[in-house]
Structure 1
């Protein structure tokens, strides 16, 4: 049920979708006796669109997420394993064209290649199936495995988890697959904005991981109040951030994380 709601209600609440829905509703009302309300909703939709596209709103929402975990400190020594979260390769497009197609967050694929070279004894796990509400047989892990091989990671080092549909299932199924032993150190590679939710979910299933954030969408604190020159970029940052905050709230309410905004140590 949660998966279905996340792909329906959760998607409907994303800023750009919500603004479009509000605009459509205003147009419908304009042709009825509620035209005055329709005009107010249309004006509201325009204001929200301007805020989401050009104001610092996206940066203000992203910064607490991206700054929550610092870059990984290699001074503690080599990790026992590296977990790569899906979300980069489009499985359906890849299946259609017969080659891995990276649509988002390419750093999630590129960073593990350097980690694999630096730590030749670390186990490498990719976790990700197909996150579409109505999905076909294509699995992201299959195509991401090919992409990882193409950039230098030997096939025999890869462990592929191909059945998870969301981050909670990433955590649960990966733990079942690798059965981490006490004292082992595992890195978790995912986008910086996605790291708080991911770490919180892994902790909750009893799999302690060390954050290896990649794929930052903004700079530092100096970017907090900068305005976007591109409406598309501003909308993208606002959508990405709101998706994470909605996910954090939903998982906390369900008891799947111990904190609203998990950090390097439990608050």
Structure 2
């Protein structure tokens, strides 16, 4: 399932889809199928126009980010579960340091809470999510980051094998159960747009966790319109939002059964 989902998204993310439909249009032209070529070319143009020059991605992203606000903590959390994705693992491994990705706020927020609540432990879950299997996980660079910022090693727990969010939840649940911590007061730290799917998957593991979103990408109040000044950011936003919404739809469908 992991490989299928990776390959599916490599093909159907907006820019890749536009590229492939344009190739299909060229093939159709080569065989003089002008009507089919026009359909594929129009589909590519519409996809690129929506992805690059509208606020569709930001609007969909805001809908995800607004689902789970940060709760009021009645007591200090016993454990913060940090979902992988905040560190560029390949670069970090080759450079021997920690290099944050665009989701690096996950680690910054974990560090802030670790200093605020000195008894809180931190669990980092995330392994190699590449198809090649040649990229290291986040355990080593995360250890360097927390050590450099004064967090004692005994406060840290690592789950180094998860390749996606479903495995983040299942492997973390198994690890915490083995250590008698599954029912501890846990918060989940991940990007705000990623929180709805994360909470659904941790819920399937019968874990009672509180959402602690970080890494906001929007101000939460986006309307649909044109946006010509940042086409690549718009396209990236739409791609990320569509992936999350697709994941949520698949979860809902699997929960309802055949």
SS at match of 1:254: helix
SS at match of 1:210: strand
Tell me which residue corresponds to 2:187.
Answer: 187
Superposed counterparts of 1:43-122, under 5 Å: 43-74=42-73, 76-122=74-120
Provide the rounded CA distance (Å) in 1 between the counterparts of 2:130 and 2:183. 36
Tell me if the contact between 2:63 and 2:220 (Cα under 8 Å) persists in the aligned partners: no
Provide the rounded CA distance (Å) in 1 between the counterparts of 2:72 and 2:224. 29
Provide the rounded CA distance (Å) in 2 between the counterparts of 1:14 and 1:151. 37
Tell me which residue corresponds to 1:3.
Answer: 2
User: Shift in Å at residue 104 of structure 1?
Assistant: 2.3
Q: Kindly tell me: are residues 95 and 183 of structure 1, through their superposed partners in 2, closer, same or farther at Cα, counting changes over 3 Å? A: closer
Q: Kindly tell me: are residues 37 and 183 of structure 1, through their superposed partners in 2, closer, same or farther at Cα, counting changes over 3 Å? A: closer
Q: Kindly tell me: are residues 54 and 152 of structure 1, through their superposed partners in 2, closer, same or farther at Cα, counting changes over 3 Å? A: farther
Tell me if the contact between 2:3 and 2:131 (Cα under 8 Å) persists in the aligned partners: yes
Tell me which residue corresponds to 1:208.
Answer: 208
Q: Kindly tell me: are residues 145 and 254 of structure 1, through their superposed partners in 2, closer, same or farther at Cα, counting changes over 3 Å? A: farther
SS at match of 1:104: coil
User: Shift in Å at residue 216 of structure 1?
Assistant: 0.9
State the Cα deviation string for residues 159-188 of structure 1 (Å, max 9, x = none). Answer: 011011111111111111122557631010
Tell me which residue corresponds to 2:140.
Answer: 142
Q: Kindly tell me: are residues 72 and 94 of structure 1, through their superposed partners in 2, closer, same or farther at Cα, counting changes over 3 Å? A: same
Supply the RMSD in Å over aligned alpha carbons. Answer: 1.9
Q: Kindly tell me: are residues 132 and 183 of structure 1, through their superposed partners in 2, closer, same or farther at Cα, counting changes over 3 Å? A: closer
User: Shift in Å at residue 42 of structure 1?
Assistant: 1.1
Unaligned segments of structure 1, at least 5 residues: 259-267
User: Shift in Å at residue 130 of structure 1?
Assistant: 0.7
State the Cα deviation string for residues 126-159 of structure 1 (Å, max 9, x = none). Answer: 0000111121261222222222322332222110
State the Cα deviation string for residues 76-96 of structure 1 (Å, max 9, x = none). Answer: 121111000001112222212
Provide the rounded CA distance (Å) in 2 between the counterparts of 1:31 and 1:133. 34
Tell me if the contact between 1:86 and 1:141 (Cα under 8 Å) persists in the aligned partners: no
Provide the rounded CA distance (Å) in 2 between the counterparts of 1:32 and 1:148. 59
Q: Which portions of structure 1, spanning 4 or more consecutive aligned residues, are displaced by more than 4 angstroms?
A: 180-183
Tell me which residue corresponds to 1:265.
Answer: none
Provide the rounded CA distance (Å) in 2 between the counterparts of 1:127 and 1:177. 10
Provide the rounded CA distance (Å) in 2 between the counterparts of 1:224 and 1:113. 34
Unaligned segments of structure 2, at least 5 residues: none
SS at match of 1:47: helix
Matched residue count: 254
Provide the rounded CA distance (Å) in 1 between the counterparts of 2:192 and 2:232. 20
